[in-house]
Structure 1
């Protein structure tokens, strides 16, 4: 099968963590995979682990022109788009809101919300005009979209915004064969994870938290991506069984 006959996915934040593992899993499942993030060297490392066709595009997800270029080059290379995994994200140090700078707050919102909006907008434009019409979007939310950790105002606010964006995308895409999922992940063990060494708890203590293998996230992404277009998954919560979530303690 030629690469133009395979399904095509764009994975943002594919240079490390959940994005890297999900991109590799999609490639192993037979997808063309477009890898994008800021760090070209790390993206190339991801590409070497993908057995199928890849397109590596280093870009800043908050740059409108750069995002348009990612999608244009995807269509040039593979002819269509079937999946967008909005995975790129940013966080900030845990500090009380009165000590939070506007610059820090905006930087998290820019990546987590603006970046997701820009990529979603481009994907929707393609999904509505390509034949056959439609496609699927998966947004990386967080269990913080439901229950916050202490002193995480920018991150928690951004992930609550992703919930609204996910629902609007699912609703507005319904008539165009477009589905949208939010995957809320709790304590996947990646090279970016810090929960195992300790996380601030509501009682003020810092305690290690249970983690789980990131490959379970990657396989969930592949499963959702493989569903037929008449099946929608609005929300998935996947987490370590012993991780604090309800009540955060």
Structure 2
């Protein structure tokens, strides 16, 4: 077995029917793992499971619904006998604009899905299996949680809180459970569509590695953190953004060239 081999391990990926969640589930399955993917509808969960292939089960479960989450963890034990990996991927952003323009409903939904759901699922997985047998939790944060930008303040605040929660849980659940988070930059997903759809060329030229991210870029990192190759990594937030946080790479290169 290589250190990236997940054969015999079981993962739950919330919000796994598309985008980053689907890519994460595919990467885990490709490494040999059993996978349960959740979606709000059984139809989309089943479609994702069929696309992923391998030993994959689709389950309808809203991320913030406790009975649905509990049912999913019970199914994982019933079908596979264990829960080794939890990817808290499900996220939402119903709010856009200045923070003070958001109402309570948008605030509550943002934090319910982006922060409470990871607490809920991690607690269930820990009590059901990981607390006694060990495991890995991977939270899907965002580079937005590491800085500030217009119109995404509430969403970014929820991701900043998730980054803090990752460190807290890493301490509380050590040494049996490793807890880390990923902070993607702009990735080609439905959720981030407003950030790239109409100005992808501009984003590409300003990104150090010359392109926006693809879901598979994040999926590969999930498989790494879930594996024994990351066995001494906990409480960390891995930025995967192609160098977007470095600043405008196109402008930087132009200024360097002008002085050569």
TM-score calculated relative to the size of structure 1:
0.86
1:49-64 map, 5 Å = 49-64=51-66
Q: Distance in 2 between matches of 1:127 and 1:212?
A: 31
In 2, Cα distance between equivalents of 1:101 and 1:191: 23
1:174 corresponding residue in structure 2: 174
Aligned with 2:173: secondary structure? Answer: helix
In structure 2, the partner of 1:40 is: 42
**Cross-structure match for 2:131:** 128
CA contact (8 A) 2:11 2:35 kept: yes
Q: CA deviation at 1:213?
A: 2.2
Could you tell me whether the CA contact under 8 Å between 1:92 and 1:154 is conserved in 2? no
What residue is the counterpart of 2:3 in the other structure?
Answer: none
Q: Does 1:99 align with 2:101?
A: yes
Q: Across the two proteins, how many residue pairs are aligned to each other? A: 233
CA distance in 1, matches of 2:227, 2:143: 24
DSSP-derived class of the 1:49 partner: helix
* Alignment gaps of 5+ in structure 2: 1-6, 205-211, 252-260
Contact 1:135 1:229 in 2 (8 A): no
Q: Which residue does 2:218 correspond to in 1?
A: 217
- SS in structure 2 at match of 1:174: coil
Deviations 1:171-217 (A, max 9, x none): 01113x11001100001223443222358xxxxxxx95231222111
Q: CA deviation at 1:246?
A: 5.8
Cα gap change, 1:117/1:169 in structure 2, threshold over 3 Å: closer, same or farther?
A: same
**RMSD between superposed Cα atoms in Å:** 2.3
Aligned to 2:147: 147
Q: In the aligned structure 2, how far is the partner of 1:31 from the partner of 1:208?
A: 38
* Alpha-carbon distance change, 230 to 105 in structure 1, aligned in 2, over 3 angstroms: same
Aligned to 2:160: 160
Give yes or no for contact 1:187–1:240 (8 Å, CA) kept in 2: no
1:111 to 107, 110, 113: 113
Once residues 163 and 247 of structure 2 are traced to their aligned partners in structure 1, the CA distance between those partners, rounded to angstroms, is 18
Cα pair distance change 1:191/1:153, threshold 3 Å: closer
Q: CA separation in 1, counterparts of 2:178 and 2:80?
A: 21
2: distance between equivalents of 1:170 and 1:98?
A: 32
Query: Counting strand residues as a fraction of each chain, which structure ranks higher?
Result: 1
